[in-house]
Amino acid sequence: MNQLIDFPYQHVLVLGLAKSGTAATKVLVKSGKRVRVNDLKTELNDPIVEELQQLGVEVITGGHPLHVLDGIDVLVKNPGIPYSNIIVQEAERRKIPILTEVELAGQLASNSLVGITGSNGKTTTTTLIYEMLNHSKQQVKIAGNIGTVAIEVAEQLQQNETMVIELSSFQLLGVQKFKPTTAVVLNLFEAHLDYHETFDNYKNAKANIFMNQTSEDFLVYNLDDKKVVDMCQPAKATKVPFSTKEKVGNGAWCDQTHLYFRDEQIILLEEIALVGQHNLENILAAVSAAMLNGATKEAIHQVLTTFTGVRHRLQFVENIKGRLFYNDSKATNVLATSKALSSFDQPTILLAGGLDRGNDFDDLIPYLKQVKAMVVFGETAEKLMELAEQIGIEKAELVDNVKHAVQRAYQLSNENDVILLSPACASWDQYRTFEERGDMFIEAVHTLK
């Protein structure tokens, strides 16, 4: 079991329990650190509080009194807690370092770490890399937002094992020494500005994935995304680009018929099971990272001919009387929905809407040409109705929720239509998670049968 050997802080405040906070607390205690926990919503009689108290942890719940920072050397915060939080602001004022759990995970698993970030496609790419390495008989574990908390995986990681981890900007903002041996940057789009405030802040958080890398490490990046190219320019790692538009000598690329890594032909494009141009970029990134970490061509071919997608990410759900239903609930911004729409040529009914973060939807317009109808819901429904009217989509209707959207879309549909849930918005106005929203979609589709 790995412990924090070079972690220089002795008295730690963990802000926010949830999965990552609880896991970080337990690792810190096992590493001989003195830990205090502060959580706003958890009750003192919660079983997890009692468990932590039995480990010697001081737990303060129900509020955020400033005295929780007294005597503290470092703050480890839940990634979802904004920097406007009163405790975080006071920690900044007192010049107390602010970290997230992945910083600790990186110190526990420094030997072989593949980290993936980007505005879209992280989960698909992370899963592909894991599957490619696993099918190559490599010792590999997957961590992050798509499964087990990173620090839990890192604590158990053996010397011969690789950890593949999905990394959000929220997590990367709170790192100091974190250094993946292979970093992957997929794309950059103006996202999470309600948290980061500016695109530069968001971009700088993403750039932390490679800030500590050296020439012995690899940086896999999207040569077709100018924002990514500009961001990666100062990186010291060995750069491995990927491109759907041009041949690259040191990375993955494709022509009209085949996908290549460097000069080696990997697979016929028509053999790839995963649909969508955006997924081709994810595949190129995954092939690069997997090959750099010892994957075999045969294993990669096997994965790419059988892998049809991750749940809630352009997931094919059902064919009902010739209507094809796709669940893309993970599309929480305009870029993701644009890429989903560009995956289809046939008439499409778009189900969209959700949390209003203040952005408009004009960037969707070029991708709506094949959209015959829109069914919208949530806080942004009126904005989307205005968009439909602006570009002349005659059938646009507002409903209460995703379940009703499925029912109405089916009524509006004809044979050979695609019915696509791709909300272009976060889910939190009506649903706790995008997974919950997607599950409602799937259930409603199955009810139609």
Determine whether the annotation assigns residue 305 to a binding site: no
Q: How far is CA 11 from the centre of its chain?
A: 31
Position 402: which residue type?
Answer: V
The candidate with the shortest Cα–Cα distance to 325, out of 399, 265, 409, is 409
Tell me the residue type at 355.
L
Question: Among 228, 327, 333, which Cα is nearest to 284's?
Answer: 228
- Asked whether residue 25 is marked as a ligand-binding residue, the answer is no
Is 71 one of the annotated binding-site residues? no
User: Is 77 annotated as contributing to ligand binding?
Assistant: no
Which phi and psi (to 5°) does residue 58 adopt?
Answer: -85, 120
Is 332 flagged in the annotation as binding? no
> Phi, psi at residue 316, to the nearest 5°?
-70, 130
Stated as kind and residue range, the H or E segment containing 156 is helix 150-156
Determine whether 395 is exposed, middle or buried from the number of CB atoms within 10 Å of its CB (0-12, 13-18, 19+): middle
Q: In the numeric block, which tokens belong to residue 19?
A: 């999965």
Q: How far is the C-alpha of 152 from the C-alpha of 197, rounded, in Å?
A: 31
Place of tokens 């991708």: 367
Contacts of 237 (CB under 8 A, 6+ apart): 183, 210, 213, 214, 215, 217, 218, 219
In sequence order, what are the residues at sequence separation of 6 or more whose Cβ sits closer than 8 angstroms to the Cβ of residue 42? 17, 48, 49, 61
SS3 content of the chain, % helix, strand, coil (to 5): 35, 20, 45
Q: Cα–Cα distance between 203 and 131 in angstroms, integer? A: 28
Written as six digits, the tokens of 91 are 């920690």
Tell whether 121 is in a known binding site. yes
- Is 282 annotated as contributing to ligand binding? no
Q: Label the pairing between strands 218-222 and 238-243.
A: parallel
| CB-CB contact of 281 with 320 (8 Å) | no
The one-letter amino acid code at 16 reads: G
Please name every residue paired with 104 in a beta bridge, in sequence order, or none if there are none. none
**DSSP letter, residue 76:** E
Residues belonging to the binding site are 118-124
Residues belonging to the binding site for ATP are 118-124
